[in-house]
Amino acid sequence: MERSISCGVLVLDPAGRLLLCHASDSRYWDIPKGIREGQEQGAQAAAREAFEECGLRLLPAQLREIGLLPYRRGKDLWLFAALVRHFEAKSCVCSSFYTDRHGRRRPEVDGFRWAAFEQLPQLCAPSLVAVLTQALSLAGIHGQLLYEVGPVDAAPGSPPGPCAIDLAQGRVQPLIQE
């Protein structure tokens, strides 16, 4: 059985907190992530997902690759990270929708918050907690980004550069270039 790959972004602020998105119809908080579309590279997919699920303006070149990690049965997580200047989580906007089992059109994400690393076990699904707290050192990743790269401005808003409106999907999609 071939394993699927979800591309995600660890969005960190200078204070060492992780941006979480509340998945609609779920009790859990998550990171922006999703499956690659077409011939997308991992960083392109991760940047697109951050835009669609949170409205973040990240370019693939601003993402640091963390690696491909076992996530759930049949699924791996290809993680990237970005250190961003702090912004109010409530300013995030999800532009990606799905139809729920009752036929209602719902946003994929219905809430946003910054969380300290020690809060993750209470907020996130066990499979994500295992990746974030056992397979990785979030403090180490944060420290490397803080001292080697510095924060980028990715506050929710319009995409970096031109965008296209995907009428079939009903969403705005940034035209992301490496």
123 secondary structure, DSSP code = H
> pTM of the predicted model, to two decimals?
0.86
Domain 4-174 CATH (choose: 3.40.50.2000, 3.40.50.2020, 3.40.630.30, 3.90.79.10): 3.90.79.10
Yes or no: say if 159 and 172 are a contact pair by the CB < 8 Å rule: yes
Q: Do the beta carbons of residue 51 and residue 62 sit within 8 Å? A: no
Confidence of residue 149 (pLDDT cuts 50, 70, 90): confident
Amino acid at 32: P
Exposure of 105 in the CB half-sphere (CA atoms within 13 A) = 7
By percentage, how much of the chain surpasses pLDDT 70?
87
pLDDT tens digits for range 33-60: 999 998 999 999 999 999 999 999 999 9
From 38-42, 135-139, 162-166, the region with the lowest mean pLDDT: 162-166
- Phi and psi at residue 112, to the nearest 5°: -140, 145
Domain ranges within the chain, ordered by starting residue: 4-174
Confidence at 157, pLDDT banded by 50, 70, 90: low
Structure token digits, residue 136: 């990785």
